[in-house]
Amino acid sequence: MDLRPDEISSLIKEQIKHFADQIESKDVGTVMTVGDGVTLIHGLDNAMLGELLLFPGDVYGMVMNLEEDAVGAVLLGDEGSIKEGDEVKRTGRIIEVPVGDGLLGRVVNPLGQPIDGQGEIVYQHTRPIEKIAPGVMTRKSVDQPLQTGITCIDAIIPIGRGQRELIIGDRQTGKTAIAIDTILNQKGQNIYCIYVAIGQKNSTVAQIVEKLRQGGAMEYTTVVSAGASELAPVQYIAPYAGCAMAEEWLEEGKDVLIVYDDLSKHAVAYRTVSLLLKRPPGREAYPGDVFYLHSRLLERACRLDDEHGGGSITALPIIETQAGDISAYIPTNVISITDGQIFLQQDLFNSGIRPAIDTGLSVSRVGSSAQIKAMKQVSSSLKLELAQYSEMQAFAQFGSDLDAATKATLEHGQRVREVLKQAQYSPRSVDQQVMTLFALKYGYTKQIPVAKINQFMDELYQNIQNQHPEMITDIQQQKSISDELSLKMKDVINAFVENFLKVNKEG
């Protein structure tokens, strides 16, 4: 077909007009199936694992399966506006959350969006929720204590900055209470805190936030909440989002405490997602990579060496057991990843021993490295004394005539138990713990009736605070008890015991 000169001219002009235009390629897919918060998409050939996808109605999804002819994604919003045949766009971004000091004092969802009604969050940048844990060569050994304010833990099962200590036990045994007390005790310790609530009731999270606010802890705390009513994929990403927020402060050389409450519900959410994506089920219907689910999360807790800023992330994961069975699948997985566990027992809780910590089954693999010297000096024999007491107690039930040594062991054990009892939301300072354990170690509690032990310990510390504050200053500065200070403390406590017995006898 012949073209006239004017036609050729117009074609050339048209091409010149669009010469600067660029070809724009869009990676777009089509929804094949949707339901139960999971969707199968055809056509996204270049999608990345963990990438955010944009669905109609501004609903986001996350790629979790890369199959031969389709992509499996989980929805992070309402699926009501999505139907088969809808167009899906790639964003080119791996799922990420806002980070920085703007999150302090706020309650956010796992996408970093505020849910506390206090307006938008001001942040400078974001971080991907998944990250490879720091390597061994960038880490430093754990030797700085993270004080929980709970005497039983700080004295017998100490936690260090950069450690991963599991809190495990049946429901309603005080697991969350230990974590909240630890957060409350970080006031003035220059430690940032993150509390991740997974599958908790919104009312429970609201109560925890209120308690933290009353204790002045929200100033240095961020709460990440994926409630029980949230979709399983949202619950699944919650701990990773919290960890990404913590890593921002870690890289600034700061110390962070993060609580995962709880990873049993996290594993259930992941199982739900995996089964809906038609991944093959394994033991107890959990997918084969359920160990990796928690190991890649908890390995991110560490203490960096000075070259890399010297910051730390201390993780307190919580696991709920069924009838005290710590040999179940998920509990054994997490026990093998962590650096020790605090085991809470239903029987102890019901008998009025709070916190209900079983010191026989509980362990810290960091041990006395995470204690100041003064605490080591006064607490070294406590675990053995409690073990002897438990053994003698069982024996004493069958024997009526006990020798003097057995009686003395039982009476001392009762007093140790009383000293380690502690009310919720009342953390104790290190110097208070050292003073009370010193009095216990050197037998000043022998003459005090068991029922009055706690009153004696509280009044003793108040007396030292008021009359001999220099003793507390010495412990705080030296971090140890010198021979001179030890003699002085013995004289002061001895005089106080005499006065206490006299006053209470008259009373």
Neighbouring residues of 103: CB distance < 8 A, sequence distance ≥ 6: 112, 121, 123, 222, 245
Q: By C-alpha distance, which of 366, 344, 331, 365 is closest to 145?
A: 366
Contacts made by residues 121-126, CB under 8 angstroms, sequence distance 24+: 123/98, 123/99, 124/100, 125/98, 125/99, 125/100, 126/96, 126/97, 126/98, 126/99
Instruction: Quote the Cα angle for 155-158-160, to 5°.
Output: 145
Burial class (CB in 10 A: 0-12, 13-18, 19+), 466: exposed
Q: What are phi and psi of 275, to 5 degrees?
A: -70, -35
Give catalytic residues, as residue numbers: 365
Strand-pair partners of 61: 53, 75
Determine the Cα–Cα distance for residues 90 and 251; give it in Å rounded to an integer.
Answer: 30
Instruction: Quote the Cα angle for 125-131-135, to 5°.
Output: 120
Which residue carries 């409450």 as its tokens? Answer: 261
Which residue carries 């009383």 as its tokens? Answer: 418
Helix pair angle (404-420, 453-467), 10° resolution? 60
Read off the tokens for 321. 């057991």
Neighbouring residues of 251: CB distance < 8 A, sequence distance ≥ 6: 309, 311
Give the gyration radius of the chain's Cα atoms. Answer: 29
Element containing residue 477 per DSSP (H, E): helix 469-478
Q: By C-alpha distance, which of 141, 133, 159, 137 is closest to 292?
A: 133
Half-sphere exposure of 273 (CA within 13 A, CB side): 27
